[in-house]
Chains A and B, each alone.
Chain A
């Protein structure tokens, strides 16, 4: 005779075994997802808003490009490739760690203390506890833009380019994750400095989605070798499309995305750990 309890999958877990991080994580994420889907109308309007956001970001680029034959040495379809790659990378980074952008709010409201007392890494909780499903809307649009760009551009594929095309969105997402992480860590020191970080996170997104050759030379250097925003999409696109880069972003930098992501990610993780160590509660 089966009792109703055993039909529930959760009841099959022995209540005496210790709860592992993985179980907790699954629990947190699924609870989060269900709560977001609960208000269907609100959720759908959020997703629609995110799709529209992606669309206007493209119109913003189109409003410039349709006036000229080439923009920063690229045709409309080629700029769409840069835009698509950058959008996919940003959407992924935003989905995972976009929450650290409002770290000062988390600190001010005392939410951070709640996260600190839980037996899970803070970063993991931030990434999952506010896993904003609506941000998927942005990813959907980004993927559509990328697909359109791949269809419209004339690419002479070879194995190396294929490898680059596959690692580029992943490396780009990692770069944006690192930038968001740095933005969050920075707010432990400068509580009112959220907008300061925006210059690198959202400024980075803006730069990443535009042809780098259209930037002033010092800006090219800064957003390639200090904040690796052009390495997210523009530099790899140069390699994939077989184009020469401008003086500040030579085509060989197209392969620097992954190493840059690893280095920047490592540095920002160190900064994040220092920030968490530095944090002293306000007695909440």
Chain B
């Protein structure tokens, strides 16, 4: 366990050295937040009140929380593992005395811990100044929201990890990566809340783990759902976590058997 803690800590430090990148990310997330918020608010004004259960203030809060959590939740992922499979460095990873999945997971949690403040706070401040935020006044949503955020970080990590693991079988994962990104961006509710979707797409999105990766923590944090409902949503997140964990473990087991690293 100690090893994973150290891995998470070193990953935190590693990411904390890229300060310019963090500032740039926060800036861009704020600009996108302004664009997204204005589009959703304009539609709500035209509709006269609310769309998909979101009033103007709630939609604005949804946008800003989403922009703030985007980086910490790891919605962009990385192709580090696939790169190591290509270069053969994966052999070093596999011969370490730590579990492959767990070591990358710990590093991702360390990254997320760093990203929260420098990348998360600026969009929230911009949002509070420009449109205002409707945040709950009781501690419940924040506590459950914290658990939900942890679950969502892990779900995003496992989803991207599974795509990376495909590199054990195929030469180039770019196509799969792209496919995954496109579906996840749309179905996680990152661009537009899933309840705004036409019915057929809403039903489809609900059958996937993607809403659990972004919309769930955002809705819980904003206090849109009551205690019992929030708890059920977190349970669903953990259910998906279990499913993805099994998928990833199976992939690691069979993939590492198939893996051939040339040279030594």
Contact = CB atoms under 8 A, between A and B. Distances in A.
Interface of A: 39, 42, 45-46, 48-50, 52-53, 56, 59-60, 62-72, 190-196, 198-199, 203, 206-207, 210, 213-216, 219
B38 interface: yes
A71 B46 CA distance: 7
B45 to A, nearest CB: 9
A275 to B, nearest CB: 17
Of A42, A62, A63, A71, chain B has the most CB atoms within 10 Å of the CB of A63
Given A63-B192, A67-B196, A192-B20, A214 B38 contact: yes
Interface of B: 18-21, 23-25, 27-28, 31-32, 34-35, 37-40, 42-43, 46-47, 51-52, 130, 170-172, 174-176, 178-179, 182-183, 185-186, 191-192, 196-198, 201
B35 A45 contact: no
A235 B68 CA distance: 31
A231 to B, nearest CB: 16
Contacts of A71: 42-43, 46
18 contacts: A42-B170, A42-B172, A42-B174, A48-B179, A49-B175, A53-B178, A63-B197, A64-B196, A66-B198, A71-B43, A71-B46, A72-B42, A203-B31, A203-B35, A210-B35, A215-B39, A215-B42, A216-B130
A60 B186 contact: yes
A190 B21 CA distance: 9
Contacts of A207: 35
B182 A52 contact: yes
A191 B32 CA distance: 21
Nearest to B52: A67
B79 to A, nearest CB: 12
Contacts of B25: 195
B20 to A, nearest CB: 4
Nearest to A73: B46
A49 B35 contact: no
A199 B122 CA distance: 15
A50 B182 CA distance: 9
Contact of A60 (B19, B43, B191): B191
Contacts of A69: 46
Contacts of B130: 216
B20 A199 contact: no
B233 to A, nearest CB: 21
A142 B178 CA distance: 18
A141 to B, nearest CB: 12
A85 to B, nearest CB: 18
Contact of B51 (A42, A68, A195, A215): A68
B55 to A, nearest CB: 14
Contacts of B19: 192
A194 B32 contact: no
Contacts of A65: 43
A196 B39 contact: no
A74 to B, nearest CB: 11
A219 B264 CA distance: 56
A196 B28 contact: yes
Name the 9 nearest CB pairs between A and B, nearest first.
A45-B175, A49-B178, A214-B42, A196-B24, A192-B20, A192-B21, A199-B28, A199-B31, A195-B24
